[in-house]
Amino acid sequence: MAARRLRVATRGSALARWQADHVAALLGDDVEIVVVSTLGDRDRTTSLDKLGGRGVFTKEVQEAVLDGRADLAVHSCKDLPSAPELQPDGLVIACVPERGDVRDALVGGRLDDLPPGARIATGAARRRAQLADLRPDLTFTDLRGNIETRLEKVPSGGAVVVANAALVRLGLEGRADEVLEPDRFLPQVGQGALAVECRGDDDETIERLRAVEHPTTRRAVDAERAWLATLGGGCDLPAAAHARVDGDGGVHLAALLASLDGRAVLRASADGDDPHEVGGRLGRSMLESGAVLLDDV
């Protein structure tokens, strides 16, 4: 019997469509794309923390899978809330394909070359805090919208910050003036990775998605998400983490907590074999160490 045609729920932006098409190509299947409008897409002016965090980009897409309009959903992994209580019942992350570029990019100028007081456009507290730590003279303005919209809003004499993976996937990597390395500027949890969800009782789809699972990426993402879940924070929390997995499967997790103004920055790292244990252990340690230092986190 021929396998059924899979229906893939996704947001409608160019980047989201690229991600859905990428997963379809990895599967080698002729899929049906089900485009879903999310609150985050419809409201491009309200800050993410006021809308409810990164989950505003995923809820309606997840509902399309839960109610049977689609068989699976493709998300930017960084948009999925990490806290278990925010994950919808009935869905599982069935696979995490091989990760793309984890780094952030500046468009408009190199960080060290920006003039004193230059304005940086970004909607992420994580990016603002780290930039303020590196360059206390910088000023900031909020930024929302898809990648194309953000690239149109580079402040005069300043820059915007975007995920470099988004530029690469849309063929816009030439727009980056500087790509910020993780040892200087930690990315968002799950940045550069995709997460594919389906119904937990859909054994056929789960089995088909196993073919595109990338175990190394899954271990890295699991460690980062476990760390963030331990903090109990969302996208408004100045928090960043990046996990690397060595050839033997060992996990090295580097993470950062910061005050909103970037004046207090706590960095730490942990190593181990179990990604969930490493993430949880580092999260608990950093909460204890930063309880007084980071009162406004």
The answer to whether the CB of 230 falls within 8 A of the CB of 285 is no
The answer to whether the CB of 139 falls within 8 A of the CB of 118 is yes
Alpha-carbon distance of 216 to 211, in angstroms, equals 14
Alpha-carbon distance of 156 to 204, in angstroms, equals 52
Look up residue 20 and give its two tokens.
């859905």
> Which is catalytic among the residues 21, 67, 79, 222?
79
Catalytic (active site) residue 236: no
For residue 202, how many C-alpha atoms fall within 13 Å in the half-sphere facing its CB? 24
Going by C-alpha positions, the residue among 222, 291, 279 that lies closest to residue 255 is 279
For residue 126, how many C-alpha atoms fall within 13 Å in the half-sphere facing its CB? 24
DSSP SS3 for 253: strand
Active site residue ranges = 79
